[in-house]
């Protein structure tokens, strides 16, 4: 099943729920030491659970910037498909484009956009428009 992020009348395609989970699983495992939401509570505990209010957008953008910076320092091989089962691998395995050099540019949406950029756009739209970000 494919999911999107909705902000008011705007929709941002993401891809499969498993793919979206992989991004957050990678954050939890690689940046939070397996303690889901300990460093990035708005993104991990609010947005990932399905709804993040517009008033939380400022904090979420700060968290996303920090994640992007830290992902830049981690190799693409550090991607996690599922935090609850670290033995699971992405369906494409190690077959990724050579231009993907770190976790910062590893995650791409089903319509070919960088997931971090899509999240940034959705959060900024919530920030300026006053609408929550919801997983659809």
What is the mean predicted confidence (pLDDT) over 38-43?
Answer: 98
> What's the pTM value of the predicted model, to 2 decimals?
0.94
pLDDT band at 88 (very low <50, low <70, confident <90, very high): confident
Contact 81, 25 (CB under 8 A): yes
Q: Is 25 exposed, middle or buried (0-12, 13-18, 19+ CB in 10 A)?
A: buried
Alpha helices in the chain (DSSP H): 17-26, 41, 57-72, 115-129
User: Which residue range forms the structural domain that includes residue 49?
Assistant: 2-135
- When divided into structural domains, the chain yields a total of 1
Least confident of 23-27, 52-56, 94-98: 94-98
Centre a 10 Å sphere on the Cβ of residue 34 and count the other Cβ atoms it contains: 11
Say what percent of the chain tops pLDDT 90. Answer: 86
Asked whether the predicted pLDDT for residue 94 surpasses 80, the reply is no
């Amino acid at each position: 099943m494919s999911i999107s992020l909705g902000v008011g009348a705007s929709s941002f395609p993401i891809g499969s729920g498993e793919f979206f989970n992989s991004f957050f699983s990678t954050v939890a495992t690689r940046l939070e030491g397996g303690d889901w939401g300990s460093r990035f509570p708005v993104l991990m505990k609010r947005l990932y659970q399905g709804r993040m209010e517009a008033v939380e957008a400022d904090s979420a953008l700060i968290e996303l910037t920090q994640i992007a910076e830290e992902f830049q320092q981690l190799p693409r091989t550090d991607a996690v498909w599922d935090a609850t089962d670290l033995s699971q691998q992405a369906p494409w395995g190690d077959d990724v484009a050579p231009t993907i050099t770190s976790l910062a540019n590893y995650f791409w949406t089903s319509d070919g956009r960088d997931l971090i950029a899509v999240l940034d756009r959705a959060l900024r739209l919530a920030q300026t428009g006053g609408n929550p970000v919801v997983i659809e």
